[in-house]
Structure 1
Amino acid sequence: MLFVSIVIPVFNDAKRLKLCLNALENQTYPKHLYEVIVVDNGSNKEQNISGLVTQFEQVRITDESSPGSYAARNKGISIAKGEIVAFTDADCIPTINWIENGVKNLLHTPNCGLVAGKIDIFFKDPNHLSVVELYESIMALPQMEFLKKHNYGATANVFTLKSVIDKVGFFDANLKSSGDVEWGQRVAAYGYGQIYAEDTCVAHPARHSFQDLYKKTVRYAGGSYDLQIKRSKSAWERNKKFIISVIQDLIPPLIFTCNVFLDSRLKNFRQKSQVSLVMFFIRYISVWEKMRLKFGGYSTRE
């Protein structure tokens, strides 16, 4: 069995980090074969992240002053002892056999570059979902789709080998979002295999309010915009990609709306209409943020 290093970036989220660390303290994987590295990415002193970490036997802490979860993950990787490196987020709750199954899937798959595990979405009150939670229930973090269609796994739940990181490189620390997209696609470009693992699962809270969803949308739009710039070879190509992305956001997502009204997970016309309206909200906020960045703004972590 190989030693595993689990890297968790955190920014002002001590309450949910404690739940995550509790879950990682009680894994089926042998305790002497894994470590948890919490990377404090500039949390407020009142959060007392270092004090929280001392409560857990398996956990050590470091910090990264450069803002952004990918810069923080890189810091964790740089001090990781493990031959296997796993990533999750401070607001995630891994299942009791998360490490065991992640390692099994990684090692039993020939030439495996990454394992993208399942991400279950949970809610404050499953019997009374907010409009935003309703949207998240069918749209948030479709890990299998990320892998099959786009060759990456969301870093809320990814396992890889340290040797793979040594070959393909670290995350792009300049990206505030979409760094997992860029890195995962780099892994695929190097010829490594990628698999989705249903049995390697973490639970992730749904966004509850429009404020939460707004922050997420702005961050994702910024990451997408920054990644476009990174991948554009000329100003002409960059401007072309920008125009296409804005048009795609502005055109009413009719296909999405049709699919929503056919989705059996939504119980009635009211729910289907609400989810469709949330999609419009997201699209137009995304355009607004891309326009802000185009005219001199900078992407933010939240």
Structure 2
Amino acid sequence: MTIVDDGAAEGPEEAAGIRAQESAAPPRPWIRRNDYTDLQVPALGAWEPRLDVSVVVPAHGHQDKLDLVLAALAAQSYPGHLMEVVVVDDGSTPPLRMPEVRPENARLITADDGGWGSAHAVNCGVAASEGAVVLRLDADMLVYRDHVESQLRWHHLADYAAVLGHKLFVPFTPGEPSAEEVHAAVAAGRTADLFDAAAAERHWIERIIDRTEALTAADHLAYRVFIGATGSLHRTLFDEAGGLAGELVLGGDSEFAYRLAQTGAVFVPDSESSSWHLGRTQMQTRREAGARYRHPYVAARVPDFENRRKQGPRQWMVPYVDVVVDVTGVSLEDADTTVAALLGGGTADVRVTLLGPWSKLTEERRSPLEEELLDLRLIRETFRGESRVVFADAEPQRDPNVPFRLVMPAGVHPTRSFLERITQAANRNSAGLLRVTAPGVAAHGPGSMRLERTAAFARARRLGAGGEGLDDAIDRLWGQHWIGGQGLFVEGEDDADAVPHDWRGRLRKAEEEAAAQRARADRLERRLRWLGRGLPRRLADRLTR
């Protein structure tokens, strides 16, 4: 990493700057699913910030746009001693330079480790900065005076919020306006006058935000809106998610948003402030070509990617379900009944971990038909060549990238549609934990069958839950759901997939009606709470429109 320009000289106080800023850890409120309405966000200008923020600006060419972006950042309402700006030149020719009108604590760096692309540039900027909060801002985003302040309010209330800034797309002509004009307008609170709002274009994510009550009623796919342009999160959350995937030159923000969701993040669209996106994006001007390029990269890494489930059974880089089956003391026949059915089912992107004392299997001379661990040895040979099967002596740590983890006993015979149906039930009911009841299967404890949502368990552990209280925390944060085994298992010689359609239809209809009633009750409860304390001004205006 090479520092090109470190901005204006600093005195002793400023030199300490944000690096010496000591901020108390923000609270960790218990937020159910994505309903953040209990967070009492303060009014703009009526609170005292204490968190330092690093604004990271990945840039490639377009010096004219960067000049305006930095001019707007130089007039922010957020305290200057709590804000630094790091511009990352992603191989521009000619190299970018820092303009005269720029924030007090701003510098320009270039990456010299051979990587390239927006995701790589963001990672470089984050590594070179030290703010408690990271705000990613594209180099074509001219922000309002309170843009940084508006997002930072949420991070003072919860350290696992991923906040998305608002934007409108406008036509851009180089030199109109000038950097000096932008700085003056932003400082005076007249950013809205710089462009014609009537000619502006909304982003497609606004439709999702509108129909989900500002994401408070969003399902497990709320992360889809946290893409590019302007968004912020705590550095600890950025690090926990692993940063952006530098190898993804396109689509990296979508993949990163998914991993953020897996850490238990809450996604908040902040509409109190706004910004102008200078010109249209590549996905707007070359939509088909951009989607064609992104699809293979994102689908391989994001199991929830909408087109992935339509492409038929296949194995992907990241499985959709991690299944754990304890085969200790289990017969070959029972293990094969369960595992073979899982591997041959309609959900092929599955990984099966078989728990057993595999390390006790040796190649010493033995009686081949009478050894104590004969069935264990035969199970290993049966599935030795299956790349989707893992042999483990102890229960493995949860893979944070896999959305579901299923624990089930050996001996049951799942149908071909088993995994599809239970994951659909979990998503339909927004459940953090789904329990499956079936004859011969324990309801609780060892031998029980449970489907765990990774994002829900990650949030519960973040909030300090563990041990015996973990399931209660999941119930409070996401909810538990029980589902009967009817139609999920093969009984004897009869395939449970052949259960008469009227019974299966009745069961599915009853589950859907129950889910609809619960969702309606949740929406009414949220609306009453919001009406009781007053809707945010901008959201109220949008709902009125």
Range into which the TM-score falls when normalised by the shorter chain: 0.5 to 0.7
CA distance in 1, matches of 2:73, 2:288: 29
In structure 2, give the amino acid aligned to 1:73.
V
Contact in 1 for aligned 2:132/2:235 (Cα 8 Å): yes
Correspondence for 1:58 among 77, 98, 105:
105
Q: What amino acid is aligned across from residue 221 of structure 1 in structure 2?
A: R
Q: Is the 8 A contact 2:73 2:103 kept in 1?
A: no
Q: CA deviation at 1:40?
A: 0.3
1:193 matched to 2:266: yes
Relative to structure 1, the CA distance from residue 26 to residue 151 in structure 2 (aligned partners, 3 Å threshold; closer, same or farther) is same
Structure 1 residue 192, shift from structure 2 partner: 2.0
Counterpart of 2:80 in structure 1 is: 31
* Distance (Å, rounded) in 1 between the aligned partners of 2:271 and 2:87: 25
Q: How many residues align?
A: 226
Give deviations 1:133-153, integer Å, cap 9, x for gaps.
8xxx25x35257276444141
Q: Which of 129, 150, 154 does residue 101 from structure 1 map onto? A: 150
CA deviations over 1:236-273 (Å, ceiling 9, x no partner): 346xxxxxxxxxxxxxxxxxxxxxxxxxxxxxxxxxxx
Q: Does 1:224 align with 2:312?
A: no
SS at match of 2:272: strand
Return the match for 1:75 from 124, 130, 149. Answer: 124
Distance change >3 Å, CA 159–CA 43, structure 1 → 2: same
**1:28 Cα offset (Å):** 0.5
Which 5+ residue runs of structure 1 have no aligned equivalent? 239-302
Of structures 1 and 2, the one scoring higher in RCO (CA 8 A, sep 6+) is 1
Once the two structures are superposed, residues 157-204 of structure 1 have per-residue CA deviations (whole angstroms, 9 ceiling, x without a partner) of: 101001111211110111122211111121111112121110142211
Q: TM-score, normalised by structure 2?
A: 0.38
Dislocated runs of 4+, deviation >6 Å: 232-235
Among 162, 172, 177, which residue is 2:235 paired with? 162
Among 264, 277, 280, the residue aligned to 1:204: 277
Partner of 1:285: none
Work out whether residues 75 and 103 of structure 2, in 8 Å CA contact, stay in contact via their aligned partners in 1: no
Which 10-residue stretch deviates more, 145-154 or 221-230?
145-154
Q: Which runs of 5+ in 2 are unaligned?
A: 1-49, 173-194, 210-214, 317-545
Q: Which amino acid aligns with 1:181?
A: S
Tell whether 2:291 aligns with 1:213.
no
Deviation at 1:54, TM superposition (A): 8.6
Change (3 A) 1:220 1:69: farther
Q: Give the AA of the match of 2:296.
A: Y
Deviates most, 35-44 or 165-174: 165-174
Partner of 1:151, secondary structure, is helix
Q: Which residue of 2 aligns with 1:121?
A: 169
Identify the match of residue 171 of structure 1 among 216, 221, 244: 244
* Structure 2 counterpart of 1:6, from 55, 59, 80: 55
Greater gyration radius: 2
Quick one: percent identity of the two aligned structures? Answer: 22
Letter in 2 for 1:44: T
Taking the aligned partners of 2:62 and 2:156, their CA distance within structure 1 comes to 32
- What secondary structure, in the 3-state scheme, does the structure 2 residue paired with 1:52 have? coil
Classify 1:39/1:83 alpha carbon distance in 2 versus 1 (closer, same or farther; 3 Å). Answer: same
Residue in structure 1 matched with residue 208 of structure 2 by the alignment = 145
- Kept in 1, the 8 Å contact 2:163–2:269? The answer is yes
- When residues 175 and 53 of structure 1 are mapped into structure 2, their CA distance, relative to the original with a 3 A threshold, is farther
Q: Is the contact made by 1:53 and 1:59 (CA closer than 8 Å) also made in structure 2?
A: no
2:168–2:275 CA contact under 8 A, matched in 1: yes
Q: Which amino acid aligns with 2:105?
A: Q
Which moved further from structure 2: 145-154 or 196-205? 145-154
Mapped partners of 1:193, 1:114: distance in 2: 6
